[in-house]
């Protein structure tokens, strides 16, 4: 009798440990934020039930009938989108003034370099002069021109570090005060449109337009998108990712309202032609063959073969998986993934699952991809 009791207690102990381990694993597997499609589908693991009321920001995740944890909920507005693949030009206006060059000023007493003396370097972001925020390059230029030669208190960002310095403009040979600093407040480039919702909201690139030092998305003041016409390709090679070559069209096609780590987002002036398709949430994405849509020549959007070779993270916002180009025709044209293909939609079984974001520099046939839900959360 005692032996049987011991066996029962041991079995109960083992079962309890297994159950606790399973619950613990489930707690880890269920993210702190769950994404919800209009049809009620979520990206939570299949074993979890999400108890949620529409309009609420929180839900309860239940496993084996046990309320396990509270999780945030984001409702994705679009269950169907028009896939992109078109090259587009993006022009962003940045809050502040980006230093694009530091040189000298010719004065009656010889050449001077106030900017260099103040410690300014290319890619520094000037944000404040004499306590006043700088909205654009003209704000900085005006402050220098109107300084009368008095020292200006400057605040600027170099990467993640905010620095204060004093800049003393000098009078050039014509009597105009200058700093020997060239500045800009716009950045532009070519990328690929990922999707357009049936309301005209778009997402593209799959990554932000970033500070070259930190990799963080630059602060957006304003933005526009244009058609881009591809005229050629610089093929990618190991150590050199290559790029699409082209130019912007004349007509503005929409406005950019967000520049984030997961892409650029905004509103199209007109919804492009195309048949909406469904999206697959991240818990449905697996390794295997896929199609990508992109534009690499004057023939417009075409479909090419690729593979998802590795799922890296279902929880991070970016760099979720590795995609490898397998299409012989695309490899012959581009060598793989090149700059300008960022945002290329990835399709599997007729569903949009994500987008290409970055190339692996040492192997241009491979690159990172992002789950589509990480982009769609900004199209609201």
Q: Are 343 and 355 in contact (CB under 8 A)?
A: yes
Q: Is 342 a catalytic residue?
A: yes
DSSP letter, residue 219:
P
Q: Which residues contact 158 (CB under 8 A, 6 or more apart)?
A: 121, 123, 124, 125, 213
The one catalytic residue in 43, 78, 185, 207 is: 207
Pick the closest to residue 342 from 85, 27, 150 (CA basis): 85
- Tally of CB atoms within 10 A around 362: 11
Using the structure block, give the residue that is written with the tokens 């000298």: 104
Q: Which residues contact 157 (CB under 8 A, 6 or more apart)?
A: 96, 124, 125, 127, 163
**Range 136-140, long-range pairs (CB < 8 A, 24+ positions):** 136/93, 136/94, 136/95, 136/96, 136/97, 136/185, 136/221, 137/97, 137/98, 137/183, 137/184, 137/185, 138/185, 139/97, 140/97, 140/181, 140/183
The one catalytic residue in 137, 342, 344, 379 is: 342
Number of Cα atoms under 13 Å in the Cβ half of residue 153: 4
- Tally of CB atoms within 10 A around 272: 13
Q: Is 87 a catalytic residue?
A: no
Using the structure block, give the residue that is written with the tokens 């690499």: 296
Q: Is 327 a catalytic residue?
A: yes
d(CA 144, CA 125): 16
Structure tokens at 181: 């600093």
> What phi and psi, each to the nearest 5 degrees, are found at residue 304?
-135, 155
Pick the closest to residue 296 from 242, 372, 244 (CA basis): 244
DSSP H helices, the chain, are 2-29, 114-117, 137-145, 328-334, 372-376
**Cα 292 to Cα 259, 275, 309, 355, 356, distances in angstroms:** 23, 16, 14, 8, 8
The one catalytic residue in 172, 240, 305, 327 is: 327
Q: Catalytic site residues?
A: 207, 327, 342
């Amino acid at each position: 009798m005692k032996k049987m009791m011991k066996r029962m207690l041991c079995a109960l102990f083992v079962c309890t440990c297994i159950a606790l381990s399973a619950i613990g694993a489930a707690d880890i597997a269920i993210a702190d934020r769950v994404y919800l499609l209009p049809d009620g589908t979520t990206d939570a693991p299949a074993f979890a039930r999400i108890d949620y009321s529409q309009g609420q920001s929180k839900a309860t995740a239940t496993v084996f009938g046990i309320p396990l944890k509270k999780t945030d909920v984001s409702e994705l507005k679009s269950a169907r989108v028009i896939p992109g693949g078109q090259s587009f030009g993006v022009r962003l206006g940045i809050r502040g003034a980006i230093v694009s060059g530091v040189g000298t000023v010719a004065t009656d007493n010889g050449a001077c370099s106030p900017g260099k003396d103040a410690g300014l370097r290319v890619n520094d972001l000037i944000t404040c002069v004499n306590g006043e925020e700088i909205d654009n390059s003209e704000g900085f230029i005006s402050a220098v021109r109107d300084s009368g030669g008095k020292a200006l208190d400057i605040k600027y960002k170099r990467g993640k570090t905010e620095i204060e310095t004093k800049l003393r403009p000098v009078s050039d040979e014509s009597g105009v005060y200058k700093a020997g600093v060239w500045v800009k407040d716009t950045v532009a480039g070519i990328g690929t449109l990922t999707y357009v919702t049936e309301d005209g909201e778009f997402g593209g690139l799959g990554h932000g337009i970033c500070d070259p030092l930190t990799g963080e998305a630059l602060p957006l003041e304003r933005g526009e998108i244009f058609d881009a016409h591809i005229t050629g390709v610089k093929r990618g090679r190991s150590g050199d990712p290559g790029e699409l070559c082209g130019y912007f069209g004349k007509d503005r096609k929409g406005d950019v309202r967000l520049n984030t780590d997961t892409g650029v987002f905004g509103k199209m002036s007109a919804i492009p032609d195309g048949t909406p398709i469904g999206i697959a949430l991240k818990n449905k994405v697996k390794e295997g063959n896929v199609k990508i849509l992109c534009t690499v020549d004057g023939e417009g959007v075409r479909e090419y073969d690729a593979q998802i070779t590795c799922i890296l993270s279902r929880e991070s916002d970016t760099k979720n998986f590795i995609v490898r180009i397998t299409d012989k025709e695309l490899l012959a044209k581009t060598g793989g993934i090149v700059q300008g293909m960022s945002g290329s939609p990835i399709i599997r079984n007729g569903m949009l699952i994500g987008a290409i974001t970055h190339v692996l520099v040492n192997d241009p046939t491979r690159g990172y991809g992002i789950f589509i839900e990480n982009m769609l959360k900004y199209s609201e």
